[in-house]
Amino acid sequence: MQSAGVDYLPSTYDADGFIHCTEGAENLIDTANRYYRDDRRAFVALIIDPSKVRAEVRYEDPARIYPHIYGAVNRDAIVRVARVRREADGTFVGVD
């Protein structure tokens, strides 16, 4: 993660053109297991208040589960940083 006080922009932003987000802990765990189970790095979840995000937030999926943020996330929109728990085999199991 970047330094305190600096807006958040992931390293994949230039390639993707937006920040991928997921609504709800259960959906986040499902997504993490689908795409990142074999990635053994420690993961955290940024809990974001979308009403405080200054960049454009778009729900582009019909179920409105995966919002995209078109720009950096201003730090005051990040409510907290949560640890994402995993099993020994890499399975994601929860968010603290």
Residue 1: predicted pLDDT: 46
Q: Is the pTM of this model over 0.85?
A: yes
Residue 6: predicted pLDDT: 87
Residue 4: predicted pLDDT: 60
Over the chain (96 residues), the average pLDDT of each successive run of 10 is 75 96 97 97 96 97 97 97 97 97
Q: Where are the chain's structural domains?
A: 13-95
Question: d(Cα 60, Cα 44) in Å, to the nearest integer?
Answer: 24
Question: d(Cα 51, Cα 57) in Å, to the nearest integer?
Answer: 9
For the chain, the maximum distance between any two Cα atoms, rounded to a whole number of angstroms, is 38
Q: Report which DSSP code applies to 71.
A: S
Residue 25: predicted pLDDT: 96
Whether the CB-CB separation of 25 and 95 falls below 8 Å is answered with yes
Pick the CATH number of 13-95 from 3.20.170.20, 3.30.720.210, 3.40.50.970, 2.130.10.10: 3.20.170.20
Residue 44: partners with Cβ closer than 8 Å, 6 or more residues away: 1, 81, 82, 83, 84
Residue 23: predicted pLDDT: 96
